[in-house]
Structure 1
Amino acid sequence: MSTDFQSGREALGARLRELRAESGLNGRDFAARLGWQPSKVSRLQNGKQTPSVADLEAWAAVSGRPDAAADLLARWRGLESQQRHWRGQLAAGHAPVQDRYVVEYRRTQVMRGYETTVIPGLFQTPDYARHLLAGNAELMRSKRDTDAAVQARMRRQEVLYEPGRVFRVLIWEAALHVHVGSRDVMVAQLDRLVGLIGMSTVELGIVPLGAAMSVTPKHGFWIFDENRVVVETVNTELQYDSADDLALYGRVWNELSAAAVSGPKAHRLIARARAAVQRLEQPG
C-alpha cells in the first residue's frame, strides 16, 4: 500500500474519530447504533480499513452530522490523489508528468493561480522551461528526458489560445528577478510575459515587492474550476477538493489579487526586471 494512500486514509480516520467523539458516544455504543462490530469502528478510525460510501453516509448520520457526509466523501475520493510524491511521478521522467498536465488543463475552463519564485509553466518560453526541467531532473535524480518534457509543456500552453477559457494568474514580483538560464533566456522570458498582457484568455497580475498584504502565503497554488486546488512542494504534489480548502485558497487568492497590479502597471514592473537583467554581464 502506498504511503500517500495510507496517509490519506489515516487523515480520514482521524476525521471520523472527531465526528464520533462529537456525538458523545464511545466506540462500542457507536458501533451498536450502526449495527457493526466494534472492531470495524476501530479499524476505520485508525486508518486500518477503507470505508465505503455507505459507511461514510451512515457514520455522518449516526454522528448527528448528516451535513458532514459531503466532506467525508470528498476526502474519500482524494485518498489516491491527495498526495503524489514526485519520486514516484518522475520514475519515467518529466515528460509523462507534463503530458498529464496537458490533459488536466484541457479539462479546465477557469483557473486561478499564484506563483512566488518562478514564471508559471503556462507562460514559460522553451529555453526557460528547459533550464528548470533539467535542473529539477538533477535535483530529483530522475530520468533526463528534458527535450520531450519541454515539448509537452509547450503543448500545455495551447489552451491559452482556446476561446472560452480564462487563466487568472498572479505572480509575485520577486519571481521576475530569479535568474533562470542566461541573460538572453531571461530577457526572452520577460518579453513573453509582456506579450500575454491583454490576451482575452489571460488575466495577469503582478504582486509588487513592498505591497501591503493582508496575507503572506508560503507557496504557490492553482485552483482548477473552483473544485480542486493543487499545491506543489519540493517533494510532493498536494490536491485538495473539500469545500473548506477551496474557500480558504479562494480567499487567499482574492487578497493577493487585491494587492496586485495589472495592465500598464504590470508592464512597468516587468520592464524594470528586464532592465535589471540586461545590466548583468554575460558569462565569459
Structure 2
Amino acid sequence: MPSSSSVQQARHALGQRLREIRKDSGLTARALAALAGWHESKCSRVEHGRTLPSDADIRSWAMHCGVQEQAADLIATARNIDGMYVEWRRTERAGLKAVQEAALPLFERTHRFRMYQSWVIPGLLQTAAYTTAVLNTIVSLRQTPDDVAEAVAVRMERQHILRSGDHRFAVLVEEWVLHTMIGGAGVMAGQLGHLISVASLPSVSVGVIPMGAPRGSGWPVESFTMYDDAQVNVELVSAHLTITQPREIRDYAASFNELSAIALYGAPARSLITAAIDALG
C-alpha cells in the first residue's frame, strides 16, 4: 500500500523498537522467526519498517522475547500507524453519512482551523447543492453506498461551528477552484455567493490565491486541513492521510504561511469571487 514519509518513519520507529526488544532477549532474528513459525526474512522486514506486523505477530514477538506486558502498547502503536493512511474506499464503505459523522468530534474540539484547498470549496463553507454535487461525484467514481442526502444533512448541521463556540477559521483556496464547474452554473453561482457571505463572519478569514501571483516556495500542494497544532488531514486522490508528527505538522504550518502570504483578502478577494460569478454568464 502506498504511504507517506510519515507512515514509513513511524513503521521504521516501531521496527527499531521491536529490534531492541529482540536483541535484549538474546534472540537472533533467525531464532525468533523459528520460534514464531515465520519465514526467516520476516523479522528483518518488520525491523526495517517494510512490513507492518499484525496484532498476532506482535503478541508472538512479545511472548518469545519475554515481554508480554508490552504487547498491548506495541499493538496500539501499530494500529495507529495503520490508521495514518486510509483509503477512501475503506472509510466510505459504510456510506458517506458515517464519514461525515465520524469527523464531528474532531471539529468540535478544534479551536483553530487552517484549510488549504486546491480542488473544491472547503466543506464547512459549502452550500447544500454544492455538497450534493460533490458527493454524487464520489458515489459515481468510487461506487460507495448512495446516502448522499443524509450525508449532506450531517455536513450542513456541522457548519454551526462557524457561528458558535471558540472556533477560528483561516481558509485558502486557489482561484481556479472558483472557476471549477461543479453541479452546473446555478449551483456554482449560489456557492460563490455563499462564499462571499461566509467570509464576512467574524470567525472566518477567506484568502484567494490568484492564478497570476508570482510564486516562490508557495507552490500548489495537496489539499489539507490543520486542526490546531495537533493533526493535519491530507486529501489524496485515493486516500486520506493523517499527520500527527510535530515536525511534519510544522512543515504544513510553514506551507500554509507561505501560501497565505500570496493570497488576497477582503475586497480584492471578493473581486475575484465576483469575477468568477460573472464568468458564469
TM-score for the superposition, normalised by structure 1: 0.78
Aligned to 1:274: 277
Find the counterpart in structure 1 of residue 250 from structure 2.
247
Offset from partner CA, 1:117-149 (integer Å, 9 cap, x none): 211111000001101101110100111111001
Alignment of 1:1-284 (within 5 A): 11-15=9-13, 32=23, 34-39=24-29, 42=44, 43-45=46-48, 46-47=50-51, 49=53, 78-214=80-216, 215-277=218-280, 279=281
In the aligned structure 2, how far is the partner of 1:251 from the partner of 1:121? 23
Question: Secondary structure at 2:157's aligned position in 1?
Answer: helix
Q: 1:202 deviation in Å?
A: 0.6
Give the unaligned 5+ runs of structure 1: 21-26, 56-71, 280-284
Q: Give the residue type in structure 1 aligned to 2:87.
A: H
CA shift at 1:13, angstroms?
4.0
Whole-angstrom distance in 2 between the partners of 1:31 and 1:90:
39
Q: Provide the C-alpha distance between the structure 2 equivalents of 1:48 and 1:202, rounded to a whole number of angstroms.
A: 41
CA gap of 1:194–1:10, structure 2 versus 1, over 3 A, is closer
Identical-residue share of aligned pairs (%) = 29
What RMSD in Å do the two structures reach over aligned CA positions?
Answer: 3.1
* SS of aligned partner of 2:10: helix
Displacement of 1:93 after TM fit?
1.2
The letter of the residue matching 1:90 is E
SS in 2 for 1:171: strand
Displacement, 1:235? 1.5
- TM-score, normalised by the number of residues in structure 2: 0.78
CA distance in 2, matches of 1:9, 1:184: 42
Does the 8 Å CA contact 1:102/1:156 hold for their aligned counterparts? yes
